[in-house]
Amino acid sequence: MLQQAAGNDASPEEDIEAPKGKFTTSAYNPNTPSHGPVFLVKAIVGKVVTIFRGSEDNDGAIELSRDFTLGIIFGLFMIANLVILDHTNIIHSDSAHNIRRTGFKLLNDPETLAFVEESSDLKFLPMYLYDNMREEITSQKRNAELQKVVDKRTAEENEKIREKEALKKEFESLVNHPTLELDKYCGGCIWNLATTCNGRVTFLQDKYGMGLYSAKLSAMEIKTCKK
């Protein structure tokens, strides 16, 4: 009988164990289409507009504060547009011109500038001083880059000098080797009864383009050029 009663009261599409009232949720149906991003954006915008406008349950003070704030923002926006249009000579308004002139006057007032700088932790500079500082910074950056190039070239030059010194020492060790006997060369001695050994070396250098030590070795083939 209980089964029959349950069968008579519950419809085949209703969950008898589901809670009744406003908390009842329907079962998940995979065939139900999901909402796209456009729908979600519209829903979010609608929610924001609803919150912004408020509801009938809002307190009167909150509504008054909101309307006052919106009025101030709208008024400032209109004044700013009016000043911009007057500055660009699109329209001419004495009030906007006076506001703009008063604003420039306040911005050029030392006391006002000092107060704004102290309140905002900023430092206002004249344009000429700002341009000079920018040029100085740019010049310092350029000098720093040039200094890097100079340091690099100096390091390369020092490396070449060290290589040159090493080659010079190796060359001197070869020239002074006992096998060559260059230390026994006699430049003032007579070469082949014709000239001095130095004269023969100079002739070989000028005539055949020989090196100094090669010319000395060639002259020393005559024994009179040896000590």
pLDDT digit string, tens, across residues 137-179: 999 999 999 999 999 999 999 999 999 998 888 888 877 888 8
Please give the share of the chain, as a percent, with pLDDT higher than 70. 73
More confident site: 7 or 214 = 214
Res 11 pLDDT > 50? no
**48-62, 109-123, 141-155, 177-191 — which one is most confidently predicted on average?**
141-155
Indicate the pLDDT class of residue 54, thresholds 50, 70 and 90.
low
More confident site: 2 or 138 = 138
pLDDT for 27 = 42
What is the reported pTM?
Answer: 0.36
Question: In this structure, is the dihedral angle defined by the CA atoms of residues 20, 23, 28 and 29, taken in order, positive or negative?
Answer: positive
Among 15-19, 41-45, 79-83, the range scoring the smallest mean pLDDT is: 15-19
More confident site: 113 or 46 = 113
Separation of alpha carbons 220 and 191, rounded Å: 9
